[in-house]
Chain A
Amino acid sequence: MEYAIAVQELTKHYEDVTAVDHISFEVEKGEIFGFLGPNGAGKTTTIRILTGLIKPDGGKAFVAGYDVLKNPIEAKQRVGVVPEVSNAYVDLTAWENLALIGKLYGVPPQKLRENATSLLKEFGLYEVKDKLVRAFSKGMKQRLLLCMALVNDPEVLFLDEPTSGLDVESARLLREKITRYNKDGKTVFLSTHNMEEANQLCHRIAIINHGRIAAIDTPENLRAQSMELQYIEVTFNKTVNMQEFSENSSITKAVPAGNKVRIYTADPSTVIEFLVEYAKRNKLRILSLNTMMPSLEDVFLKLIKGKEAVVQ
Protein backbone atom coordinates (compact mmCIF):
# COMPACT_ATOMS: atom_id res chain seq x y z
CA MET A 1 0.00 0.00 0.00
CA GLU A 2 1.24 3.46 -0.86
CA TYR A 3 1.01 5.77 2.12
CA ALA A 4 0.39 9.51 2.05
CA ILE A 5 3.33 9.89 4.45
CA ALA A 6 5.93 7.28 5.35
CA VAL A 7 8.74 7.97 7.79
CA GLN A 8 11.59 5.53 8.47
CA GLU A 9 14.15 5.97 11.23
CA LEU A 10 14.06 9.75 10.86
CA THR A 11 16.72 11.52 12.95
CA LYS A 12 17.69 15.14 13.43
CA HIS A 13 20.30 16.62 15.77
CA TYR A 14 20.83 20.27 16.65
CA GLU A 15 24.39 20.44 17.92
CA ASP A 16 24.29 18.10 20.96
CA VAL A 17 20.49 17.91 21.20
CA THR A 18 18.62 15.09 19.44
CA ALA A 19 15.38 16.73 18.31
CA VAL A 20 14.08 13.68 16.44
CA ASP A 21 15.39 10.26 17.38
CA HIS A 22 14.89 7.41 14.87
CA ILE A 23 11.13 7.82 14.50
CA SER A 24 9.09 5.69 12.11
CA PHE A 25 5.41 5.86 11.21
CA GLU A 26 3.01 5.81 8.28
CA VAL A 27 -0.03 7.90 7.52
CA GLU A 28 -2.64 6.35 5.28
CA LYS A 29 -4.23 8.26 2.44
CA GLY A 30 -7.38 10.07 3.55
CA GLU A 31 -6.45 9.89 7.22
CA ILE A 32 -6.36 12.71 9.79
CA PHE A 33 -3.20 11.92 11.70
CA GLY A 34 -2.61 13.72 14.97
CA PHE A 35 0.89 14.49 16.20
CA LEU A 36 0.91 15.24 19.92
CA GLY A 37 3.74 16.08 22.22
CA PRO A 38 4.94 18.61 24.79
CA ASN A 39 6.98 21.65 23.76
CA GLY A 40 10.38 20.63 22.43
CA ALA A 41 9.29 17.05 21.79
CA GLY A 42 10.23 17.20 18.10
CA LYS A 43 6.85 17.91 16.48
CA THR A 44 7.83 21.03 14.55
CA THR A 45 11.20 19.55 13.55
CA THR A 46 9.37 16.52 12.12
CA ILE A 47 6.95 18.75 10.20
CA ARG A 48 9.82 20.89 8.91
CA ILE A 49 11.58 17.78 7.61
CA LEU A 50 8.39 16.44 6.01
CA THR A 51 7.68 19.79 4.34
CA GLY A 52 11.22 19.97 2.97
CA LEU A 53 12.36 22.93 5.07
CA ILE A 54 15.23 21.17 6.80
CA LYS A 55 17.23 18.07 6.04
CA PRO A 56 17.35 15.16 8.49
CA ASP A 57 20.65 13.69 9.67
CA GLY A 58 19.38 10.18 9.09
CA GLY A 59 16.43 8.13 7.94
CA LYS A 60 13.95 8.52 5.11
CA ALA A 61 10.70 10.38 4.63
CA PHE A 62 8.20 10.02 1.80
CA VAL A 63 5.32 12.41 1.18
CA ALA A 64 2.72 11.69 -1.51
CA GLY A 65 5.04 8.93 -2.73
CA TYR A 66 8.07 11.20 -3.16
CA ASP A 67 11.28 11.05 -1.18
CA VAL A 68 11.52 14.48 0.49
CA LEU A 69 15.31 14.29 0.40
CA LYS A 70 15.72 13.19 -3.22
CA ASN A 71 12.67 14.92 -4.76
CA PRO A 72 11.77 17.77 -2.39
CA ILE A 73 10.16 19.93 -5.10
CA GLU A 74 7.90 17.07 -6.30
CA ALA A 75 6.92 16.28 -2.71
CA LYS A 76 6.24 19.93 -1.85
CA GLN A 77 4.20 20.35 -5.04
CA ARG A 78 1.62 17.97 -3.54
CA VAL A 79 1.29 19.42 -0.06
CA GLY A 80 -0.26 22.45 1.60
CA VAL A 81 1.19 23.82 4.81
CA VAL A 82 -0.17 25.93 7.66
CA PRO A 83 2.95 26.69 9.69
CA GLU A 84 3.02 27.19 13.44
CA VAL A 85 3.22 30.98 13.33
CA SER A 86 1.05 33.27 11.26
CA ASN A 87 3.15 34.20 8.27
CA ALA A 88 1.13 35.59 5.44
CA TYR A 89 2.73 38.69 3.92
CA VAL A 90 1.22 41.54 5.92
CA ASP A 91 2.22 44.11 3.27
CA LEU A 92 0.19 42.28 0.63
CA THR A 93 -3.58 41.91 0.36
CA ALA A 94 -5.33 38.59 0.98
CA TRP A 95 -5.77 38.19 -2.78
CA GLU A 96 -2.09 38.96 -3.48
CA ASN A 97 -1.02 36.39 -0.87
CA LEU A 98 -3.15 33.71 -2.49
CA ALA A 99 -1.96 34.70 -5.96
CA LEU A 100 1.68 34.55 -4.83
CA ILE A 101 1.35 31.06 -3.38
CA GLY A 102 -0.72 29.85 -6.34
CA LYS A 103 1.94 31.08 -8.80
CA LEU A 104 4.71 29.47 -6.75
CA TYR A 105 2.85 26.16 -7.08
CA GLY A 106 2.48 26.75 -10.82
CA VAL A 107 -1.34 26.81 -10.69
CA PRO A 108 -2.63 28.01 -14.11
CA PRO A 109 -4.00 31.60 -13.93
CA GLN A 110 -7.66 30.75 -14.64
CA LYS A 111 -7.64 27.86 -12.13
CA LEU A 112 -5.87 30.13 -9.61
CA ARG A 113 -8.58 32.80 -9.92
CA GLU A 114 -11.32 30.17 -9.47
CA ASN A 115 -9.62 28.50 -6.49
CA ALA A 116 -8.78 31.80 -4.78
CA THR A 117 -12.30 33.16 -5.23
CA SER A 118 -14.03 30.03 -3.95
CA LEU A 119 -11.66 29.65 -0.98
CA LEU A 120 -11.96 33.30 0.08
CA LYS A 121 -15.74 33.04 -0.13
CA GLU A 122 -15.80 29.76 1.79
CA PHE A 123 -13.63 31.16 4.58
CA GLY A 124 -15.53 34.46 4.77
CA LEU A 125 -12.65 36.59 3.48
CA TYR A 126 -13.88 37.53 0.02
CA GLU A 127 -15.19 40.92 1.15
CA VAL A 128 -11.77 41.86 2.52
CA LYS A 129 -9.70 40.31 -0.27
CA ASP A 130 -8.23 43.69 -1.30
CA LYS A 131 -7.28 44.75 2.22
CA LEU A 132 -3.73 44.46 3.50
CA VAL A 133 -3.28 41.43 5.77
CA ARG A 134 -1.71 43.81 8.31
CA ALA A 135 -5.26 44.88 9.23
CA PHE A 136 -6.50 41.31 9.76
CA SER A 137 -7.31 39.77 13.14
CA LYS A 138 -5.51 36.58 14.21
CA GLY A 139 -8.54 34.50 13.26
CA MET A 140 -8.70 36.08 9.80
CA LYS A 141 -4.96 35.55 9.29
CA GLN A 142 -5.30 31.90 10.28
CA ARG A 143 -8.22 31.43 7.87
CA LEU A 144 -6.14 33.06 5.15
CA LEU A 145 -3.24 30.70 5.92
CA LEU A 146 -5.56 27.74 5.45
CA CYS A 147 -6.75 29.25 2.13
CA MET A 148 -3.08 29.62 1.11
CA ALA A 149 -2.45 25.97 2.03
CA LEU A 150 -5.42 24.86 -0.05
CA VAL A 151 -5.01 27.06 -3.13
CA ASN A 152 -3.02 24.39 -5.01
CA ASP A 153 -5.57 21.67 -4.15
CA PRO A 154 -2.97 19.57 -2.24
CA GLU A 155 -3.10 15.84 -1.55
CA VAL A 156 -1.63 16.23 1.93
CA LEU A 157 -2.23 19.08 4.39
CA PHE A 158 0.28 19.81 7.15
CA LEU A 159 -1.25 21.83 9.95
CA ASP A 160 1.02 22.94 12.77
CA GLU A 161 -1.11 24.12 15.71
CA PRO A 162 -3.74 25.59 13.39
CA THR A 163 -6.19 26.63 16.10
CA SER A 164 -3.66 27.80 18.68
CA GLY A 165 -4.66 31.14 20.19
CA LEU A 166 -7.87 31.41 18.19
CA ASP A 167 -11.26 32.41 19.57
CA VAL A 168 -13.83 29.61 19.95
CA GLU A 169 -15.75 30.53 16.79
CA SER A 170 -12.69 30.69 14.51
CA ALA A 171 -11.27 27.47 15.99
CA ARG A 172 -14.58 25.68 15.41
CA LEU A 173 -14.76 26.96 11.82
CA LEU A 174 -11.24 25.74 11.13
CA ARG A 175 -12.02 22.31 12.61
CA GLU A 176 -15.14 22.04 10.47
CA LYS A 177 -13.14 22.90 7.36
CA ILE A 178 -10.41 20.39 8.24
CA THR A 179 -13.06 17.68 8.57
CA ARG A 180 -14.71 18.71 5.31
CA TYR A 181 -11.50 18.75 3.32
CA ASN A 182 -10.56 15.38 4.81
CA LYS A 183 -13.93 14.00 3.65
CA ASP A 184 -13.05 15.30 0.18
CA GLY A 185 -10.07 12.95 0.27
CA LYS A 186 -7.24 15.07 1.63
CA THR A 187 -4.83 13.54 4.09
CA VAL A 188 -4.28 15.76 7.12
CA PHE A 189 -1.19 15.75 9.34
CA LEU A 190 -2.20 17.74 12.40
CA SER A 191 0.14 18.84 15.12
CA THR A 192 -1.75 20.11 18.15
CA HIS A 193 -1.61 20.64 21.88
CA ASN A 194 -5.37 20.49 22.12
CA MET A 195 -6.35 16.99 23.30
CA GLU A 196 -10.03 17.54 22.67
CA GLU A 197 -9.27 18.70 19.15
CA ALA A 198 -7.13 15.62 18.51
CA ASN A 199 -9.82 13.41 20.00
CA GLN A 200 -12.53 14.95 17.83
CA LEU A 201 -10.64 15.15 14.54
CA CYS A 202 -8.01 12.46 14.36
CA HIS A 203 -8.37 8.91 13.10
CA ARG A 204 -5.02 8.05 14.64
CA ILE A 205 -2.64 9.82 16.97
CA ALA A 206 1.11 9.61 17.47
CA ILE A 207 2.48 10.84 20.78
CA ILE A 208 6.07 12.07 20.57
CA ASN A 209 8.31 12.78 23.54
CA HIS A 210 12.03 13.60 23.65
CA GLY A 211 12.17 13.01 19.90
CA ARG A 212 10.79 9.48 20.13
CA ILE A 213 7.37 8.09 19.33
CA ALA A 214 5.80 7.00 22.63
CA ALA A 215 2.61 5.56 21.10
CA ILE A 216 0.59 5.45 17.89
CA ASP A 217 -3.01 4.32 17.77
CA THR A 218 -6.61 5.46 17.48
CA PRO A 219 -7.81 7.74 20.31
CA GLU A 220 -10.08 4.91 21.54
CA ASN A 221 -7.30 2.32 21.58
CA LEU A 222 -4.93 4.71 23.31
CA ARG A 223 -7.48 5.20 26.05
CA ALA A 224 -8.14 1.45 26.22
CA GLN A 225 -4.42 0.78 26.67
CA SER A 226 -4.52 2.89 29.78
CA MET A 227 -7.40 1.29 31.61
CA GLU A 228 -5.53 1.57 34.89
CA LEU A 229 -6.21 5.28 34.53
CA GLN A 230 -9.98 4.85 34.64
CA TYR A 231 -11.49 5.95 37.90
CA ILE A 232 -14.66 5.99 39.94
CA GLU A 233 -15.92 9.26 41.35
CA VAL A 234 -18.06 8.75 44.41
CA THR A 235 -19.83 11.25 46.68
CA PHE A 236 -20.90 10.25 50.18
CA ASN A 237 -23.23 12.20 52.46
CA LYS A 238 -20.40 12.57 55.01
CA THR A 239 -16.67 13.02 54.96
CA VAL A 240 -14.96 9.64 54.90
CA ASN A 241 -11.65 8.29 56.11
CA MET A 242 -9.82 7.08 53.01
CA GLN A 243 -7.39 4.84 54.91
CA GLU A 244 -9.56 1.79 54.22
CA PHE A 245 -9.56 2.54 50.49
CA SER A 246 -5.82 2.39 50.18
CA GLU A 247 -5.82 -1.05 51.87
CA ASN A 248 -8.01 -2.51 49.09
CA SER A 249 -5.84 -4.33 46.53
CA SER A 250 -8.18 -3.41 43.62
CA ILE A 251 -7.68 0.30 44.29
CA THR A 252 -4.60 1.90 42.75
CA LYS A 253 -5.06 5.20 44.47
CA ALA A 254 -7.79 7.22 46.18
CA VAL A 255 -7.64 11.00 46.19
CA PRO A 256 -10.07 13.67 47.37
CA ALA A 257 -11.51 15.82 44.56
CA GLY A 258 -13.66 18.55 46.13
CA ASN A 259 -16.54 16.83 47.96
CA LYS A 260 -15.93 13.67 45.94
CA VAL A 261 -13.46 10.86 46.23
CA ARG A 262 -11.66 9.83 43.06
CA ILE A 263 -10.67 6.16 43.09
CA TYR A 264 -8.32 4.88 40.39
CA THR A 265 -8.79 1.19 39.53
CA ALA A 266 -8.34 -1.33 36.76
CA ASP A 267 -11.31 -3.30 38.12
CA PRO A 268 -14.29 -0.95 38.56
CA SER A 269 -16.96 -3.60 39.26
CA THR A 270 -15.07 -5.03 42.27
CA VAL A 271 -14.49 -1.51 43.60
CA ILE A 272 -18.18 -0.56 43.20
CA GLU A 273 -19.16 -3.67 45.23
CA PHE A 274 -16.59 -2.67 47.83
CA LEU A 275 -17.93 0.92 47.98
CA VAL A 276 -21.52 -0.27 48.46
CA GLU A 277 -20.36 -2.56 51.30
CA TYR A 278 -18.27 0.24 52.77
CA ALA A 279 -21.25 2.60 52.75
CA LYS A 280 -23.50 0.02 54.46
CA ARG A 281 -20.88 -0.79 57.04
CA ASN A 282 -20.27 2.87 57.91
CA LYS A 283 -23.93 3.93 57.66
CA LEU A 284 -23.19 6.27 54.76
CA ARG A 285 -25.31 7.19 51.81
CA ILE A 286 -23.88 7.25 48.28
CA LEU A 287 -25.08 10.49 46.67
CA SER A 288 -23.43 9.90 43.31
CA LEU A 289 -21.20 7.32 41.68
CA ASN A 290 -19.66 7.57 38.19
CA THR A 291 -17.21 5.39 36.31
CA MET A 292 -14.91 7.62 34.25
CA MET A 293 -12.87 6.41 31.27
CA PRO A 294 -9.36 7.85 30.95
CA SER A 295 -9.26 10.95 28.81
CA LEU A 296 -6.79 11.39 25.99
CA GLU A 297 -5.10 13.96 28.20
CA ASP A 298 -4.63 11.29 30.90
CA VAL A 299 -3.11 8.93 28.35
CA PHE A 300 -0.87 11.70 27.07
CA LEU A 301 0.32 12.60 30.56
CA LYS A 302 0.89 8.96 31.41
CA LEU A 303 3.05 8.47 28.32
CA ILE A 304 4.93 11.71 28.78
CA LYS A 305 5.36 11.89 32.55
CA GLY A 306 4.39 8.47 33.83
CA LYS A 307 1.27 7.17 35.55
CA GLU A 308 1.95 9.00 38.79
CA ALA A 309 1.59 12.39 37.11
CA VAL A 310 -1.95 11.54 36.02
CA VAL A 311 -3.08 10.01 39.30
CA GLN A 312 -1.77 13.01 41.20
Chain B
Amino acid sequence: MSTLTEQFKRSFVIAEKNIKIYYSKGPVIIFGLVFPLFLALAYVIGRNIPLKEVLPGLIGMTTFFTATSVGPSIVPWETRSKTLERLLCCPVALWTVVVGDMLSSFIFGLIISVIPLALTLALGIQPLNFIILLLGLTIANLCFAALSVLLSAYPPTDIPATSMMLSSLVKFPLVFISGVFIPVEQLPQWGTAIASISPLTYFTDLVRQLFLNKGFYPLTLDFLMVTAFTMAFALAAMKLHEKTITKRLS
Protein backbone atom coordinates (compact mmCIF):
# COMPACT_ATOMS: atom_id res chain seq x y z
CA MET B 1 0.00 0.00 0.00
CA SER B 2 2.79 2.40 0.95
CA THR B 3 4.49 1.55 -2.36
CA LEU B 4 1.28 2.48 -4.17
CA THR B 5 1.06 5.80 -2.30
CA GLU B 6 4.72 6.47 -3.03
CA GLN B 7 4.18 5.77 -6.74
CA PHE B 8 1.20 8.15 -6.81
CA LYS B 9 3.36 10.83 -5.19
CA ARG B 10 5.90 10.29 -7.94
CA SER B 11 3.13 10.65 -10.53
CA PHE B 12 2.56 14.15 -9.14
CA VAL B 13 6.31 14.86 -9.42
CA ILE B 14 6.13 13.82 -13.10
CA ALA B 15 3.02 15.98 -13.59
CA GLU B 16 4.84 18.96 -12.04
CA LYS B 17 7.71 18.42 -14.47
CA ASN B 18 5.28 18.20 -17.41
CA ILE B 19 3.58 21.43 -16.36
CA LYS B 20 6.94 23.24 -16.31
CA ILE B 21 8.02 21.88 -19.69
CA TYR B 22 5.01 21.22 -21.88
CA TYR B 23 2.35 23.84 -21.06
CA SER B 24 4.33 26.47 -22.93
CA LYS B 25 5.09 24.30 -25.97
CA GLY B 26 3.71 25.59 -29.29
CA PRO B 27 1.48 22.61 -30.20
CA VAL B 28 -0.09 22.63 -26.73
CA ILE B 29 -0.90 26.36 -26.97
CA ILE B 30 -2.26 25.97 -30.50
CA PHE B 31 -4.37 22.85 -29.88
CA GLY B 32 -5.27 23.69 -26.26
CA LEU B 33 -5.90 27.44 -26.38
CA VAL B 34 -5.90 29.07 -29.81
CA PHE B 35 -7.83 26.34 -31.59
CA PRO B 36 -10.72 25.96 -29.09
CA LEU B 37 -10.96 29.77 -28.83
CA PHE B 38 -11.44 30.21 -32.57
CA LEU B 39 -13.71 27.19 -32.79
CA ALA B 40 -15.80 28.66 -29.98
CA LEU B 41 -15.96 32.05 -31.73
CA ALA B 42 -16.98 30.40 -35.00
CA TYR B 43 -19.61 28.46 -33.06
CA VAL B 44 -21.08 31.49 -31.28
CA ILE B 45 -20.73 34.46 -33.64
CA GLY B 46 -23.50 34.97 -36.17
CA ARG B 47 -25.83 32.32 -34.77
CA ASN B 48 -29.23 33.51 -33.78
CA ILE B 49 -29.44 31.26 -30.71
CA PRO B 50 -29.52 32.41 -27.06
CA LEU B 51 -26.14 32.07 -25.35
CA LYS B 52 -27.65 29.72 -22.78
CA GLU B 53 -28.52 27.28 -25.57
CA VAL B 54 -25.01 27.41 -27.01
CA LEU B 55 -23.22 27.02 -23.68
CA PRO B 56 -23.37 23.23 -23.21
CA GLY B 57 -21.77 22.61 -26.58
CA LEU B 58 -19.25 25.37 -26.02
CA ILE B 59 -18.16 24.06 -22.61
CA GLY B 60 -18.08 20.50 -23.91
CA MET B 61 -15.94 21.43 -26.91
CA THR B 62 -13.42 23.64 -25.08
CA THR B 63 -13.05 21.13 -22.25
CA PHE B 64 -12.50 18.35 -24.74
CA PHE B 65 -9.88 20.20 -26.79
CA THR B 66 -7.93 21.64 -23.85
CA ALA B 67 -7.85 18.41 -21.82
CA THR B 68 -6.62 16.45 -24.83
CA SER B 69 -3.96 18.94 -25.93
CA VAL B 70 -1.06 18.04 -23.60
CA GLY B 71 -1.20 14.25 -23.45
CA PRO B 72 -0.48 13.24 -27.06
CA SER B 73 2.80 15.13 -27.24
CA ILE B 74 4.59 14.22 -23.98
CA VAL B 75 5.61 10.61 -24.62
CA PRO B 76 6.75 11.17 -28.26
CA TRP B 77 8.68 14.24 -27.13
CA GLU B 78 10.37 12.36 -24.32
CA THR B 79 11.08 9.39 -26.59
CA ARG B 80 12.89 11.70 -28.99
CA SER B 81 14.90 13.53 -26.33
CA LYS B 82 15.64 10.21 -24.57
CA THR B 83 14.31 11.66 -21.33
CA LEU B 84 11.74 8.87 -21.19
CA GLU B 85 14.63 6.46 -20.71
CA ARG B 86 16.04 8.71 -17.97
CA LEU B 87 12.62 8.79 -16.29
CA LEU B 88 12.14 5.02 -16.43
CA CYS B 89 15.62 4.42 -14.96
CA CYS B 90 14.23 5.98 -11.78
CA PRO B 91 12.24 3.85 -9.34
CA VAL B 92 8.93 4.50 -11.03
CA ALA B 93 6.59 2.06 -12.75
CA LEU B 94 5.42 2.75 -16.28
CA TRP B 95 1.89 3.31 -14.96
CA THR B 96 3.31 6.00 -12.66
CA VAL B 97 4.57 7.88 -15.72
CA VAL B 98 1.27 7.36 -17.55
CA VAL B 99 -0.70 8.67 -14.53
CA GLY B 100 1.71 11.63 -14.28
CA ASP B 101 1.05 12.48 -17.93
CA MET B 102 -2.71 12.16 -17.39
CA LEU B 103 -2.54 14.45 -14.38
CA SER B 104 -0.71 17.18 -16.27
CA SER B 105 -3.22 16.96 -19.12
CA PHE B 106 -6.08 16.96 -16.61
CA ILE B 107 -4.81 20.04 -14.73
CA PHE B 108 -4.38 21.97 -18.00
CA GLY B 109 -7.92 21.08 -19.09
CA LEU B 110 -9.38 21.95 -15.70
CA ILE B 111 -7.68 25.37 -15.54
CA ILE B 112 -8.70 26.36 -19.06
CA SER B 113 -12.25 25.00 -18.84
CA VAL B 114 -12.84 27.26 -15.87
CA ILE B 115 -12.68 30.24 -18.29
CA PRO B 116 -15.94 29.56 -20.21
CA LEU B 117 -17.54 28.54 -16.94
CA ALA B 118 -16.52 31.82 -15.27
CA LEU B 119 -17.73 33.71 -18.34
CA THR B 120 -21.08 31.98 -18.02
CA LEU B 121 -21.43 32.93 -14.39
CA ALA B 122 -20.31 36.49 -15.16
CA LEU B 123 -23.12 36.76 -17.71
CA GLY B 124 -25.58 35.75 -15.00
CA ILE B 125 -26.34 32.30 -16.40
CA GLN B 126 -26.59 29.93 -13.44
CA PRO B 127 -26.50 26.13 -13.61
CA LEU B 128 -29.11 24.16 -11.70
CA ASN B 129 -26.45 22.73 -9.42
CA PHE B 130 -22.98 24.24 -9.41
CA ILE B 131 -21.34 21.44 -7.37
CA ILE B 132 -22.60 18.75 -9.76
CA LEU B 133 -21.38 20.82 -12.68
CA LEU B 134 -17.91 21.12 -11.13
CA LEU B 135 -17.87 17.39 -10.41
CA GLY B 136 -18.89 16.67 -13.99
CA LEU B 137 -16.25 19.04 -15.32
CA THR B 138 -13.59 17.33 -13.19
CA ILE B 139 -14.51 13.80 -14.27
CA ALA B 140 -14.79 14.86 -17.92
CA ASN B 141 -11.35 16.48 -17.81
CA LEU B 142 -9.92 13.30 -16.30
CA CYS B 143 -11.65 11.23 -19.00
CA PHE B 144 -10.32 13.38 -21.87
CA ALA B 145 -6.85 13.48 -20.30
CA ALA B 146 -6.84 9.65 -20.16
CA LEU B 147 -7.95 9.56 -23.81
CA SER B 148 -5.13 11.93 -24.79
CA VAL B 149 -2.49 9.73 -23.12
CA LEU B 150 -4.02 6.68 -24.79
CA LEU B 151 -3.70 8.46 -28.14
CA SER B 152 0.04 8.95 -27.49
CA ALA B 153 0.58 5.19 -27.04
CA TYR B 154 0.18 4.04 -30.61
CA PRO B 155 1.99 4.21 -32.97
CA PRO B 156 5.13 4.39 -30.80
CA THR B 157 6.43 7.42 -32.67
CA ASP B 158 9.08 9.86 -31.48
CA ILE B 159 7.64 12.71 -33.56
CA PRO B 160 5.21 14.83 -31.53
CA ALA B 161 3.61 16.27 -34.71
CA THR B 162 2.68 12.76 -35.89
CA SER B 163 1.05 11.97 -32.59
CA MET B 164 -0.80 15.33 -32.54
CA MET B 165 -2.01 14.79 -36.10
CA LEU B 166 -3.22 11.25 -35.44
CA SER B 167 -4.95 12.34 -32.25
CA SER B 168 -6.73 15.07 -34.23
CA LEU B 169 -8.01 12.36 -36.56
CA VAL B 170 -9.76 10.84 -33.56
CA LYS B 171 -10.72 14.07 -31.80
CA PHE B 172 -12.50 15.89 -34.64
CA PRO B 173 -14.92 13.08 -35.58
CA LEU B 174 -15.68 12.68 -31.87
CA VAL B 175 -16.69 16.35 -31.62
CA PHE B 176 -19.00 16.01 -34.62
CA ILE B 177 -20.77 12.89 -33.36
CA SER B 178 -21.15 13.98 -29.76
CA GLY B 179 -24.11 16.32 -29.79
CA VAL B 180 -21.94 19.41 -29.51
CA PHE B 181 -23.39 21.13 -32.56
CA ILE B 182 -26.73 19.32 -32.69
CA PRO B 183 -28.27 17.98 -29.44
CA VAL B 184 -28.50 14.17 -29.33
CA GLU B 185 -32.30 14.22 -29.13
CA GLN B 186 -32.42 15.95 -32.51
CA LEU B 187 -30.22 13.32 -34.18
CA PRO B 188 -31.67 10.44 -36.22
CA GLN B 189 -31.63 7.01 -34.63
CA TRP B 190 -28.36 6.00 -36.28
CA GLY B 191 -26.84 9.32 -35.14
CA THR B 192 -27.89 8.63 -31.57
CA ALA B 193 -26.33 5.18 -31.76
CA ILE B 194 -23.03 6.63 -33.02
CA ALA B 195 -23.14 9.43 -30.42
CA SER B 196 -23.41 6.86 -27.64
CA ILE B 197 -19.88 5.61 -28.29
CA SER B 198 -18.35 9.02 -27.49
CA PRO B 199 -17.58 10.14 -23.92
CA LEU B 200 -18.08 13.75 -25.03
CA THR B 201 -21.76 12.97 -25.74
CA TYR B 202 -22.40 12.21 -22.07
CA PHE B 203 -20.51 15.25 -20.83
CA THR B 204 -22.32 17.61 -23.23
CA ASP B 205 -25.60 15.99 -22.21
CA LEU B 206 -24.71 16.47 -18.54
CA VAL B 207 -23.96 20.17 -19.06
CA ARG B 208 -27.13 20.61 -21.10
CA GLN B 209 -29.18 19.13 -18.25
CA LEU B 210 -27.54 21.42 -15.72
CA PHE B 211 -28.05 24.60 -17.77
CA LEU B 212 -31.20 23.89 -19.79
CA ASN B 213 -32.85 21.22 -17.64
CA LYS B 214 -33.23 18.99 -20.68
CA GLY B 215 -31.07 16.05 -21.68
CA PHE B 216 -31.23 12.81 -23.61
CA TYR B 217 -29.83 10.47 -20.96
CA PRO B 218 -30.48 10.43 -17.20
CA LEU B 219 -27.87 12.48 -15.30
CA THR B 220 -26.68 9.41 -13.40
CA LEU B 221 -26.05 7.59 -16.65
CA ASP B 222 -24.04 10.57 -17.94
CA PHE B 223 -21.82 10.39 -14.85
CA LEU B 224 -21.52 6.61 -14.99
CA MET B 225 -20.62 6.59 -18.66
CA VAL B 226 -17.97 9.32 -18.33
CA THR B 227 -16.49 7.46 -15.34
CA ALA B 228 -16.55 4.15 -17.24
CA PHE B 229 -14.84 5.76 -20.26
CA THR B 230 -12.21 7.28 -17.94
CA MET B 231 -11.36 3.90 -16.44
CA ALA B 232 -11.35 2.19 -19.83
CA PHE B 233 -9.09 4.85 -21.40
CA ALA B 234 -6.71 4.86 -18.42
CA LEU B 235 -6.39 1.06 -18.39
CA ALA B 236 -6.00 0.90 -22.16
CA ALA B 237 -3.33 3.65 -22.03
CA MET B 238 -1.33 1.73 -19.43
CA LYS B 239 -1.60 -1.57 -21.30
CA LEU B 240 -0.79 -0.07 -24.70
CA HIS B 241 2.17 1.92 -23.39
CA GLU B 242 3.47 -1.25 -21.71
CA LYS B 243 3.22 -3.04 -25.04
CA THR B 244 5.03 -0.38 -27.02
CA ILE B 245 7.67 0.70 -24.50
CA THR B 246 10.39 -1.72 -25.68
CA LYS B 247 10.01 -0.41 -29.23
CA ARG B 248 10.18 3.16 -27.97
CA LEU B 249 13.39 2.53 -26.08
CA SER B 250 15.13 0.56 -28.81
Contact = CB atoms under 8 A, between A and B. Distances in A.
A61 interface: no
Interface string A71-83: 0111011010101
A51 B89 contact: yes
A89 B85 contact: no
Interface residues of A, number: 31
B82 A104 contact: no
B85 A76 contact: no
A11 to B, nearest CB: 15
Given A53-B88, A76-B89, A83-B89, A104 B246 contact: no
Q: Nearest 8 CB-CB pairs, A to B?
A: A87-B82, A104-B90, A76-B91, A81-B89, A77-B91, A103-B13, A87-B86, A91-B21
A100 B91 contact: no
A73 B10 CA distance: 12
A87 B81 contact: yes
B186 interface: no
Interface of B: 3, 6-7, 9-10, 13-14, 17, 20-21, 81-83, 85-93, 245-246, 249-250
8 contacts: A53-B89, A72-B93, A73-B3, A76-B89, A81-B89, A87-B83, A87-B85, A100-B17
A48 B249 CA distance: 9
Contact of B20 (A81, A83, A96): A96
A92 B86 CA distance: 14
A286 interface: no
Given A52-B89, A53-B85, A73-B91, A89 B249 contact: no
Nearest to B22: A91
A104 B13 contact: yes
A100 B21 contact: no
Contacts of A148: 86
B231 to A, nearest CB: 24
A76 B9 CA distance: 17
Contact of B83 (A14, A79, A89, A104): A89
A105 B88 CA distance: 11
Given A103-B10, A103-B13, A106-B6, A90 B81 contact: yes
Interface string A14-32: 1000000000000000000
Nearest to B3: A73
B88 A83 contact: no
B89 A92 contact: no
Contacts of B88: 52-53
Given A76-B90, A83-B86, A101-B86, 20 more contacts: A53-B85, A53-B89, A54-B249, A55-B246, A74-B91, A76-B91, A76-B92, A77-B91, A81-B86, A83-B82, A87-B83, A87-B86, A89-B17, A89-B83, A90-B81, A92-B21, A96-B20, A104-B92, A105-B90, A106-B10
